[in-house]
Amino acid sequence: MISLQSLDDETLSFILMNPFRIFPDYTPEISGQDLRELGAESPDDISYYVVSTIRETVAGSTVNLKAPLAVNALNRRAKQIILDQPEYTFRHALGSTNRKEGE
């Protein structure tokens, strides 16, 4: 997990997760326009992170698989993209993974 903390408001932060550690079959398809805007030559240059909402239980927690943060690992340029893939949702339940709570 990664925490993005606001410099202006200490009560505001986002918890990011590596989606591939939670959903090994996650296969985001980045558009050519997004690749160009990130200054990337190949989808292999991109790392992905998903914004999470953490609740008291894993089953109640969600991640945004539909709109991941795409980061060009070579130049550190990043943006949130929206995937044109209907299998991903904005509030995908962590409880839908095969992992047991506490793992």
**pLDDT number for residue 97:** 60
* DSSP string over 46-60: EEEEEEEE--SSTTT
Prediction pTM value = 0.84
Ordered structural domains, the chain, with CATH: 2-93 (2.30.290.10)
Per-residue pLDDT reduced to its tens digit, 26-52: 999 999 999 999 999 999 999 999 999
Say yes or no to pLDDT of 89 above 80.
Answer: yes
Amino acid (1-letter code) at residue 88:
Y
**pLDDT number for residue 94:** 86
Burial tier of 95 (Cβ tally within 10 Å: 0-12, 13-18, 19+) = middle
Confidence of residue 95 (pLDDT cuts 50, 70, 90): confident
